[in-house]
């Protein structure tokens, strides 16, 4: 398969290399691959096996990422590859996230083609999503440089497992990120994700500090990460380190992959999580995978008016002025960009 030399690695001598793209810092002998299965030591040099290899591309609402406070109502051109730096047994995209590059049919797409297609379909942003974008970082970097030259925004939908040095290298090219906080205990991360909560939290805090628009999502899995104590601890970290205006999403789990035996998340659990987040001082708290629930709406934190009403990925009502202020009390809602009044949306899968 075609391969491109990686940019995020160190040569250790005697043919060994150390990947520096994520906190795992895999050390590989010649012929070996890292944990994600997409980066290989070839004769003492590290290569990406997925550069330009696109497993899917589609036009999505930005709300599907989910980003509720970033270019609301707009469409985003979404692309993915294969592989992941985690091994989550509930992954809804396991067919690509758990695949090895040689075992999944991809389409070769140069960075310029991604930008051209985003322009063609009227998307003001490009989202790297579906599988983990961090392991694709060389390609993400090249796509982002071309996108920025065209005035487009770049979005990551990520597990947040990125080394701080890799984040430093690309942070100026990333406009927004939704970080999936899988749980709020190290034991959960070690057992189910094969990663580290503290590294994810550090990277998420760094994204915020670097001026990237950040929203977080937590999938609440019955009996695993949905206790009131854990949710409250997550919300307190969120408030102290990301601030009260950073949106937080609690998403409903549905049986999938190796957790097909579990029940969906009770609606009462999502409502409990939202209540706790509001009690702890977070101002913009959302529930996901639950179309029609009032927790999809944006409420003014001062007068509590529903200033944006949503149903799923669609905005049903927009009640803010051009400066994003509440019409009743004048409170400014922290939204990046402008409202894009789209006339309906239907799934458009390109590949």
The CATH number of the structural domain formed by 53-349 is 3.20.20.70
> What φ, ψ does residue 44 adopt, rounded to 5°?
85, 10
The whole-number pLDDT of residue 351 equals: 53
Question: Among 56, 42, 35, which Cα is nearest to 11's?
Answer: 42
The whole-number pLDDT of residue 341 equals: 87
Mean pLDDT for back-to-back runs of 10 residues, the chain (351 residues): 90 97 98 98 98 97 97 97 98 96 96 97 97 98 98 98 97 98 98 98 98 98 98 98 98 97 97 98 97 97 97 95 96 97 63 53
Question: Which positions ≥6 away from 266 have C-beta within 8 Å?
Answer: 222
| Domain parsing of the chain, residue ranges | 4-48, 53-349
The whole-number pLDDT of residue 342 equals: 72
d(CA 200, CA 19): 17
């Amino acid at each position: 398969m075609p391969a491109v030399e990686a940019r995020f690695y160190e040569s250790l001598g005697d043919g060994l290399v150390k990947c520096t793209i994520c906190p795992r810092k895999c050390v590989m002998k010649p012929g070996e691959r890292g944990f994600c299965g997409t980066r290989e030591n070839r004769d003492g040099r590290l290569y990406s096996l997925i550069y330009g290899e696109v497993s899917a591309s589609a036009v999505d609402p930005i709300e599907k990422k989910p980003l509720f406070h970033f270019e609301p109502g707009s469409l985003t051109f979404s692309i993915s590859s294969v592989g992941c730096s985690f091994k989550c047994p509930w992954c809804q995209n396991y067919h690509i996230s758990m695949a090895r590059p040689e075992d999944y049919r991809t389409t070769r797409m140069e960075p310029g083609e991604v930008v051209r297609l985003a322009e063609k379909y009227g998307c003001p942003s490009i989202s790297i999503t579906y599988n983990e974008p961090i392991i694709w970082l060389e390609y993400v970097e090249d796509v982002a440089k071309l996108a920025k030259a065209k005035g487009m925004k770049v979005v990551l939908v990520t597990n947040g497992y990125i080394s701080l040095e890799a984040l430093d290298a690309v942070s100026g090219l990333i406009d927004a990120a939704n970080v999936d906080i899988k749980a709020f205990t190290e034991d959960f991360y070690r057992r189910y994700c094969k990663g580290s909560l503290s590294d994810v939290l550090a990277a998420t805090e760094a994204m915020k500090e670097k001026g990237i628009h950040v929203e977080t999502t937590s999938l609440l899995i019955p009996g695993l990460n949905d206790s009131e104590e854990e949710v409250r601890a997550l919300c307190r970290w969120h408030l102290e380190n990301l601030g009260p205006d950073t949106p937080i999403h609690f998403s409903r789990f549905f049986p999938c992959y190796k957790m097909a035996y579990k029940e969906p998340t009770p609606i009462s659990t999502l409502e409990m999580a939202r209540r706790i987040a509001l009690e702890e001082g977070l101002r913009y708290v959302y529930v996901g995978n639950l179309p029609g629930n009032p927790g999809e709406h944006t409420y003014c934190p001062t007068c509590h008016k529903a200033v944006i009403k949503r149903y799923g990925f669609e905005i049903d009502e927009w009640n803010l002025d051009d400066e994003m202020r509440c019409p009743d009390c004048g409170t400014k809602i922290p939204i990046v960009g402008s409202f894009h009044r789209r006339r309906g949306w239907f799934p458009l899968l390109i590949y």
